[in-house]
Structure 1
Amino acid sequence: MNPLTEKQIRASFINTTRRETTQALLPDLTGARWDQLDYLGWRDRKAPLLAYVVLELDAVPTGILLRAGAANQTMVRRKALCAWCRDLANVEAAMYVARRGGSAGRAGNTIGTLVCEDFSCSRNVRRPPTSSEAGTDADLVRQLIVQERIAGLRERATRFVQEVAATL
């Protein structure tokens, strides 16, 4: 992912109001390892049910506002498969819902997905394959597995953002 500025991030949102865009609490970008990110995702520290994702669609930064489902305190937490990185081992996935762009979004239409609660998908797809995933094959096979995971993450995250934007 190419490095982004605060101004580029704020200008990228496609399913927010002007007020939501200006009130968005952005992450600290100073330590971002852009070469290791397939998308930039974060939760709002002041409004923990709000989250944001920015990725590149046709080389243009495109951001969406997501809302996390309110966790029921009495509900038993279970691991779920992240729809983007398809990792189950390290994280819990949470249901995030995005208002669609344009008139459909203004009418209340939304789309949802299960995504890593902490948006760690980029890190998850880059972890070394386990022996059950790659066997005892050479490093080249392990590298190919990681490259396939990265391509799959990019494709699935992009498809979701395209679905949000589909009505624009």
Structure 2
Amino acid sequence: MRPVTESAIRSSFVNCTKGEAKRLAVPKDLAERPWADLDFLGWRDPSARERAYLVAESDDGLVGVALRVAPQTQRVRRSMCSLCLTTHTGPGVSLMTARKAGRNGQQGNSVGAYLCTDLACSLYLRGKKDAGPGGRLHESLTLAEKVGRTMANLAGFLHKVVE
């Protein structure tokens, strides 16, 4: 992913108002992010742990999505991220929901997916972050193929938000 600015991030959100986008917590360390290793930018709001954000590049420019993180009701032994297919034990995967864009979102419609709780899918794919015991299943796919699959999964999720 190419480096992005706070202004570009704020203007990319498709499922919240301009006022909400203006108030959301953008990471302070954008200059230090490992952009060359990121396929998308994802982060949790440090002051409101039930909020998360995801910004990805698309053919139409940046697409940002505000997410709600469901509370963890029980500890599961192992769960898998629906984007990168990394498995985690305990609270490493969370159900995250996104209000749909436009009229559907105004009517309360949303879509959800089980995602890496820290939204660090790109780093898990590249072995830059350890997912713990059994985190990455052995696959014969190349890194490029894994990234392609992850981005296809992300594009499918974002399409559901925007449609």
Q: TM-score, normalised by structure 2?
A: 0.87
How many residue pairs get aligned? The number is 154
Q: Which has the larger radius of gyration?
A: 1
Post-superposition offset of 1:108: 0.2
Structure 2 CA distance for aligned equivalents of residues 89 and 98 of structure 1:
22
Partner residue, 2:148: 151
Secondary structure at the aligned position of 2:97 is classed as strand
Alignment-mate amino acid for residue 80 of structure 2: L
1:133 to 121, 132, 139: 139
Partner residue, 1:17: 17
Give unmatched runs, 5+ long, in structure 1: 135-143
**Inter-CA distance 18–77: structure 2 relative to 1 (3 Å threshold):** same
Name the stretch that deviates more: 111-120 or 87-96. 87-96
- What root-mean-square deviation, in Å, do the aligned CA atoms of Structure 1 and Structure 2 show? 2.0
**Inter-CA distance 68–131: structure 2 relative to 1 (3 Å threshold):** closer
Q: In the alignment, does 2:46 pair up with 1:40?
A: no
Post-superposition offset of 1:19: 2.5
Post-superposition offset of 1:162: 1.5
Alignment of 1:13-162 (within 5 A): 13-27=13-27, 28-58=29-59, 60-72=61-73, 75-88=74-87, 92-127=92-127, 132-134=138-140, 145-162=142-159
Q: TM-score, normalised by structure 1?
A: 0.84
Secondary structure at the aligned position of 1:95 is classed as strand
Structure 2 CA distance for aligned equivalents of residues 104 and 22 of structure 1:
22
Post-superposition offset of 1:71: 2.2
Structure 1: which 4+ aligned runs deviate by more than 3 Å?
A: 130-134
Post-superposition offset of 1:131: 9.8
Please tell me whether the aligned partners of residues 84 and 121 of structure 2 are also in contact (alpha carbons under 8 angstroms): yes
Post-superposition offset of 1:94: 0.5
**Inter-CA distance 46–151: structure 2 relative to 1 (3 Å threshold):** same
Structure 2 CA distance for aligned equivalents of residues 132 and 165 of structure 1:
33
